[in-house]
Amino acid sequence: MTKPDQAFFLPLTSRLSLLPFTLLPALLLLAALGGCQPQPSITPPAATIAAPPAKKPAAAPVPVKAPTVEENLLVVLSDSSEIYSHLAEKLRLRSGLKTTILSLDTPQTGELSLANQLKSAQGPIIAVGIEAAKFLAPHARKHDVIFALVFNHRELDLLERGMIGVSMLPPPGQVLRLFKAISPQVTTLALPVKPDLADYAALARAEAGKLGLTLDTPEVGNDKELLLLTRKLDPATRGLWLLPDNRIISKENLQQIMAVSVKSGRQLVVFSPTLFPLGGLLSAEFETEATVATILEVALTPDDERRKNRGRLLQPRTGRLAINPGMVETLGLTVPPQHRPLLQDYR
């Protein structure tokens, strides 16, 4: 007999031969039955189909900014007189832009020459005075040209040529309100004008109507016509408003016109306090700060907005007003407290 510990390691067929013969059929039957039992079915795992990787959206192209062009302000003066230079300096201080000021009576050379400045100008150009406006008119096709302190711009068709204008006349409503406050008993005035000031005359008549005043705007073409008109005015017309039109008012005739008016007891609105000694009651003229503000309002707007103003005449919000205390006393008038700061002693 084989030792038990050795039999454990014998092959299976050898170990079966060692069993009793009678047990062998039973073991073979059990083995056959075990082999016929159904095996548990194994369901294969469902196939997982991976989604295709999402494509990253194409990055939007980074916009390439065009190099910004620094705007500058070019101011051209008719001459270097104080009135023009003062306005130009106010523009320089308030614009916030690099400002170049040139005068037609002081030509520069090199980079500062007017020709070079016009070639390199990237912003609007300001013309101060009639001569500067005439000089720059041909450039209005390429640049936005704004003119100021120009009275008879219509004779040169400046607006028709595409320029932008700033009126040098005071707002008529402001003038008439002050006149009525000082002379409430006067209800009819005359404002002589040339035909090309018809738009200003219409505006003045409308403002007078709001105040219950009657404003006649007869047309005159020269000094003689104005002097004749003054002498023949209806006595009921107690006020006369003179505009600064050098085309029809010479110094000699102006003195005659004012002398006739004062003698007739008319109250005069003049265009400068320097005319107070001749009998002016009120002075109404352009105001530098308001003119500068109006110029810059249009000059500093974007190009597309500014170009919409081509061919237009813009009206400053206020004018410079003054009252002659001597005539107030002579005429026995009373100045309301709110207007007393306007009293200007010319003596």
What tens-digit pLDDT sequence spans the chain (347 residues)?
444 444 434 444 444 444 444 444 443 333 333 444 444 444 444 444 445 555 555 545 544 444 344 678 999 999 999 999 999 999 999 999 999 999 999 988 888 899 999 998 888 999 999 999 999 999 999 999 999 999 889 989 999 999 999 999 999 999 999 999 999 999 999 999 998 899 999 999 999 999 999 999 999 988 899 999 999 999 999 999 999 887 777 888 899 999 999 999 999 999 999 999 999 999 999 999 999 999 999 999 999 999 999 999 999 999 999 999 999 999 999 999 999 999 997 65
* Of 73, 108, 123, nearest in space to 93 by CA: 73
Contact 266, 237 (CB under 8 A): yes
The C-alpha angle 183, 188, 192, rounded to 5 degrees, equals 110
At residue 123, the pLDDT reads 86
Fold of 72-166: Rossmann fold (3.40.50)
At residue 48, the pLDDT reads 46
- CATH superfamily, with its number, for domain 172-286+317-342: Response regulator (3.40.50.2300)
Number of Cβ within 10 Å of residue 14's Cβ equals 11
Tell me the whole-structure pTM to 2 decimals.
0.76
Same fold, 72-166 and 172-286+317-342: yes
At residue 52, the pLDDT reads 52
At residue 100, the pLDDT reads 95
133 class by beta-carbon count within 10 Å (0-12 exposed, 13-18 middle, 19+ buried)? buried
Residue type, 323: I
- Strand extents, DSSP E, 104-258: 125-128, 145-148, 164-166, 188-190, 214-216, 239-241
For 71, phi then psi, to 5°, come to -75, 150
Q: Where are the domains of the chain?
A: 72-166, 172-286+317-342
